[in-house]
């Protein structure tokens, strides 16, 4: 995750219910701009153009966990959320 | 899916109204009256054992009272683990949901402490060692291997039969002269479990909304597997109760009496912990909405345990 991407106001807007859910948790901690930038960059880093399901949410969660800091706390919560709904490693 | 008429906010409000402290329910100088029964006949099944004397039946009733609360302490081990998972999933999410779940976890932990404190009081005052099923962590681990919806269905089953036990057999029961301290513990436990059952249903509804019919059917199968594992635990508890009764009264059962005792008491434990959950009208309504295809499996399970 580059510092630059977190500072720039993103054009990213959620396009699926899963993206909305993930973004809403991130916004609570990081604010809208940083959250949107982080989610967009995280999705790009794992080759996802869109978050369509719980399994993809788990992939984003794992990427956030690897990022460390507050994103990793969000990632852990998203990971449990996804696993409770049937996602598997 | 479940079409519920309450929400997390109302659960928090109700929980705040009925909240209590362990010292209010079981103060340091609390005593048990061993001239009285702890459990009503409906939950102890001792009347069927006509070969026991009245004093032996009373001792068995008190042994059953101890195991009754211990089994709650036992299952609350996994319920706490389950709620903590749901709390983790809700971090940075909806604050009402998070608060309701946090209260749920705190209250279940408090119940465990209450029942542990009762266990100490009983152990010191009953006069002989009393056997209780071991390894709650192992059972918690077995249950937590199942899908989250199966675990929630099992928890809902437990919370709803707990309410039924108190309201149907204890609350207005003056005829059986139950020990007031024991009766009071059941009352305070029931007060908070009422909200827990609602939170279980709300959480199950959220998971069900994100699931497929196949996932819900699998959850029912796993729930039935948990019931069968629990049944094995109950049979083990019956064997321990025989030894506790012998230690307390000196009564040694002959092989015929032992066979009748195991059959009658296993049937009673099954009725109290399995059948009363499966047949609870609210539980049946929720399960039918959750998975309409589950009806034949549930009927067969009830028949098996009856």
pLDDT of residue B199: 98
Q: What is the pLDDT of residue A11?
A: 63
> Contact B92/A86, CB-based, under 8 Å?
no
Q: A9-61 pLDDT, tens per residue?
A: 456 788 899 999 999 999 998 999 999 999 999 999 999 999 999 999 999 99
Contact (CB<8Å) B147/A86: yes
- The answer to whether B211 faces chain A, any CB pair under 8 Å, is yes
- Interface residue of B210, B214, B216 to substitute, partner A, most A CBs within 10 Å: B210
- Give mean pLDDT, residues B40-54: 95
Of residues B89, B91, B92, nearest to A84 (C-beta): B89
Whether residue A77 and residue B86 make contact (CB cut-off 8 A), yes or no, is: no
Question: ipTM score here?
Answer: 0.88
Q: Do A74 and B92 count as a contact with CB atoms less than 8 A apart?
A: yes
Write the CA distances from A15 to A18, A22, A49, B40, B175, integer angstroms.
8, 11, 10, 58, 64
Give the pTM. 0.93
| Residues of chain B contacting A54 with CB distance shorter than 8 Å | 210
Distance from CA of A43 to the nearest CA of B (A): 20
Q: Identify the sign of the CA torsion B263, B268, B270, B271.
A: positive
| A interface test, pick of B82, B89, B207 with most A CB neighbours within 10 Å | B89
Is residue A85 left, alpha or beta, with left meaning phi > 0 and alpha meaning psi from -120 to 50?
alpha
B160 pLDDT higher than 70: yes
Alpha-carbon gap: A80 to the closest alpha carbon of chain B (Å): 5
Q: Do A25 and B85 touch (CB under 8 A)?
A: no
What are the tokens at A79?
Answer: 């990971």
**B219 Cβ contact list (under 8 Å, min separation 6):** B146, B147, B149, B150, B153, B211, B290, B291
A26 neighbors A61 (Cβ within 8 angstroms): no
pLDDT in the model for residue B243: 97
Question: Residue A20: how many CA atoms within 13 Å on its side-chain side?
Answer: 3
- Comparing alpha-carbon positions, the chain B residue that sits nearest to A54 is B210
Residue-wise pLDDT for B207-228, tens only, equals 999 999 999 999 999 999 999 9
- C-beta separation of A57 from A17 below 8 A: no
Q: Averaged over A68-78, what is the pLDDT?
A: 95
Longest CA span, chain A? 35
Contact A28 B210 (CB under 8 A): no
Residues of chain A positioned with their CB less than 8 A from the CB of B90: 77, 81
């Amino acid at each position: 995750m580059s510092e630059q991407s977190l500072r720039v106001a993103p054009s990213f807007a959620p396009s699926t219910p899963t993206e909305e859910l993930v973004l809403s948790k991130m916004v609570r901690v990081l604010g809208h701009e940083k959250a949107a930038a982080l989610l967009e960059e995280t999705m790009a880093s794992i080759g996802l153009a869109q978050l369509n399901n719980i399994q993809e949410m788990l992939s984003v969660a794992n990427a956030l966990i690897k990022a460390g800091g507050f994103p990793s706390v969000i990632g852990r919560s998203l990971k449990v959320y996804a696993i409770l709904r049937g996602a598997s490693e | 899916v479940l079409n519920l008429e309450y929400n997390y906010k109302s659960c928090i409000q109700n929980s705040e109204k009925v909240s209590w402290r362990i010292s209010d329910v079981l103060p340091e100088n609390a005593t048990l009256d061993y001239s009285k029964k702890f459990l009503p006949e409906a939950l102890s099944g001792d009347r069927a054992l006509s070969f026991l004397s009245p004093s032996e039946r009373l001792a068995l009733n008190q042994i059953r009272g101890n195991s009754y609360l211990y089994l709650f302490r036992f299952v609350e081990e996994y319920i706490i683990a389950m709620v903590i998972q749901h709390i983790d999933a809700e971090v940075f999410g909806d604050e009402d949901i998070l608060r309701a779940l946090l209260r749920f976890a705190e209250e279940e932990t408090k119940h465990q402490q209450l029942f542990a404190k009762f266990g100490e009081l009983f152990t010191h005052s009953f006069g002989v060692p009393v056997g209780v099923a071991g390894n709650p962590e192992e059972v918690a681990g077995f249950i937590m291997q199942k899908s989250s919806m199966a675990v929630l269905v099992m928890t809902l089953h437990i919370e709803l039969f707990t309410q039924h036990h108190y309201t149907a057999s204890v609350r207005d029961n003056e005829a059986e002269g139950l020990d007031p301290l024991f009766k009071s513990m059941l009352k305070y436990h029931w007060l908070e479990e009422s909200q827990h059952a609602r939170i279980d249903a709300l959480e199950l509804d959220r998971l069900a909304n994100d699931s497929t019919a196949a996932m819900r059917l699998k959850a029912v199968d796993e729930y039935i597997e948990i019931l069968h594992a629990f049944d094995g635990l109950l049979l083990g508890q019956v064997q321990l109760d025989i030894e506790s009764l012998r230690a307390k009264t000196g009564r040694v059962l002959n092989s015929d009496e032992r066979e009748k005792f195991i059959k009658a008491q296993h049937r009673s434990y099954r009725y109290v912990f399995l059948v009363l959950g499966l047949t609870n009208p609210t539980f049946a309504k929720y399960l039918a909405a959750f998975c309409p295809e589950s009806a034949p499996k549930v009927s067969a399970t009830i028949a098996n345990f009856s």
